[in-house]
Amino acid sequence: MDALLLLLRWMHILGVVVLVGGLCFSRFALLPALADTEEDSREKLQERIRRKWLPWVIIAITFLLVSGLTNFLL
């Protein structure tokens, strides 16, 4: 039981780190860099980034939901 709780806690922490880290990178590094690019290039790059980032967001949210609900029910 202790191993399960430890795994769930790390899943929860990992999910938060991925989401918050991605948001901070996007806000403080990516958006300022994209402001200096041309409109066509910016839209293409944003779409490519969105396609690559979406699976990580889905995994992180799944980790948060599964670990949070399981911890709540235990």
Annotate 4-61 with three-state secondary structure: HHHHHHHHHHHHHHHHHHHHHHHHHHHHHHHHCCCHHHHHHHHHHHHHHHHHHHHHHH
Q: Could you tell me the residue ranges of all domains in the chain? A: 43-74
Instruction: Flag whether pLDDT at 74 surpasses 90.
Output: no
pTM over 0.85: no
- Tell me which of 1-5, 43-47, 50-54 is least confident: 1-5
21 to each of 2, 7, 61, how far by Cα in Å? 28, 21, 14
